Structure 1
Amino acid sequence: MLNELFTPSVQHALDIVGIFVFAISGALLAVRKNFDVFGIAVLAEVTALGGGIFRDVMIGAVPPAAFTDLGYFLTPLIAAGLVFFLHPHVERIQVGVNVFDAAGLGLFCVAGTVKAYEYGLGLTSSAALGLATAVGGGVLRDVLANEVPSLLRWDRDLYAVPAIVGAVMVVLCIRFETLNAYTSGAAALAAFVLRLLAMRFHWRAPRAWNRRSARAEENAAVI
């Protein structure tokens, strides 16, 4: 189904771009955490490939594409090398990196959902794995860096929600037999635009209703 949207060569190129920008975000976090060159490379690889590897293992597409395509494996290392030597300059174009990251989010949530469905999963499970494909690498990155995963933090702009929207649009198209090049592209575009809007206007998910303030919680803990 997804192959109708792009030719294999174009699809591969888009995958590489998505992997590259995800790897940049992982490598930048490693620099901020004062990791050495090995740590930077590991965080870049995990961020870029973690979600796709998890999806492929869960659906039985083994060995995962990350281990059968040398380009997938080498791209994060190139990103790690650029950040290692040029991280002050990369930090300056963080806005541009975020835009490409949003594009990768949209592409990967759609690609992950379609691939899971093509391997026989139901609609709900396919959407869940589409989400995991898009955000799984970021979760692993934050865990390895000893941070609360970004998609669980209330003070971060919406990240998982755009991926959920894209994945749900795909499974609805599958359900009503309307998935094609245009609807796949629309789902990826919706996730991309929603993520950009969340970054622009700092949209965040609501917290628990009538929750106590952080100060009240701290006082209660002291007592």
Structure 2
Amino acid sequence: MDARTWSLVFDLLGVFFFAVSGCLLAVQKNFDIVGSLMLGSLTGLGGGVIRDLVLGRFPNSFAEPVYLAPPVLAAAVVYFLMPAVQKARRTLLTFDAAGLALFCITGTVTALSYGVNPVSAALLGTVTAIGGGLMRDTVANVRPGLFDRHDLYAIPAMVGAGAVAALWPLGLYSTAAGVVVAVVVFAFRILALRLRWRVPLAASSRHRSGGEAPARE
């Protein structure tokens, strides 16, 4: 397959993995099958829609009907094969990590293909990767992983998008390189979850202990 076909495959797989995570959250929230399909679609397609709108093009998810198939398949898989809600959270995080790993690559490659500079392309790739999960958690009334200090949600996506943006101008990016980056990002995300890695808070402990919290308007 050529590079364009592989890019489409990665994109559709990313949609599917993210859609499964959305459908699993719908199970946890006791949504019906329609709610599962809607939340899965929002999760799987949301990041790509943001990417395409920023690039000033009609979103792929509406221009090409094939993008609607992964959310439908995800809703069906969860409905028939994932009845054990007790294991849903771990499974949700695994599928979310897979979607994150693929979307940070496809988002960055798409931006670079449109002539966006590498720094902005990496930023857009990161937004593509985290956008769907952010929408999913917000709609389902769950604290987004992006704002959870115990979750390095955005950092693995930044690493993957940055790697692709660095390889592209050097002529070193290829499908194989994309697969390697995706595996690294996925492993990074899973290890961060299992080992409970975290990033520093917005203010150091010295400042937080010595000052008062700002009053809300």
TM range (shorter): 0.7 to 0.9
After TM superposition, the score normalised by the length of structure 2 is 0.82
Tell me what 2:16 maps to. 20
Q: Alignment partner for residue 101 of structure 2, among 106, 129, 150? A: 106
Cα deviation, 1:74-119, whole Å, max 9, x if unaligned, reads 3212322343455433653654554443233222111110111111
Q: State the Cα distance separating 1:138 from its structure 2 match.
A: 0.4
CA distance in 1, matches of 2:129, 2:103: 5
CA distance in 2, matches of 1:115, 1:14: 12
Distance 1:104 1:165, change over 3 A: same
What RMSD, in angstroms, separates the aligned Cα atoms of the two structures?
2.8
* TM-score of the superposed pair, with normalisation by structure 1: 0.80
Question: What is residue 65 of structure 1 aligned with on the other side?
Answer: 60
- How many Å separate the matches in 1 of 2:184 and 2:56? 29
In the alignment, does 2:52 pair up with 1:49?
Answer: no
- Residue in 2 that maps onto 1:39: 35
Assess, with a 3 A threshold, how the Cα gap between structure 1 residues 151 and 120 changes in structure 2: closer, same or farther: same
Measured against aligned partners, the alpha-carbon deviations of 1:183-220 in whole angstroms (never above 9, x if no partner) come to 4333323212211211221212221311648xx97xx9
Kept after mapping to 2: 8 A contact 1:105/1:134: yes
Task: Number of aligned residue pairs: give it.
Answer: 211
Pick one of 149, 167, 176 that aligns with 1:173: 167
Return closer, same or farther for 1:69/1:103 CA change in 2, 3 Å cut-off: same
- 1:193 equivalent in alignment to 2:187: yes
CA distance in 2, matches of 1:163, 1:202: 17
Q: Which residue of 2 aligns with 1:132?
A: 127
Instruction: Report the CA distance between 1:13 and its aligned residue.
Output: 3.8
Give runs of aligned pairs for residues 70-89 of structure 1, distance below 5 A.
70-84=65-79, 86-89=81-84
**In structure 2, do the counterparts of structure 1 residues 147 and 94 end up closer, same or farther at CA, with 3 Å as the change threshold?**
closer
Which amino acid in the other structure matches residue 158 of structure 2?
I
- Cα distance change of structure 1 residues 91 and 75 upon mapping to structure 2, 3 Å threshold: farther
Answer with 200-209 or 168-177: which moved more: 168-177
Q: Percent identity?
A: 42
Alpha-carbon distance in 1 for matches of 2:176, 2:81: 39
The aligned amino acid for 1:24 is V
**Structure 1 spans left out of the alignment, 5+ residues:** none
Within the alignment, does 1:123 sit opposite 2:118 as a pair?
yes
- 8 Å CA contact 1:165–1:190 kept in 2: the answer is no
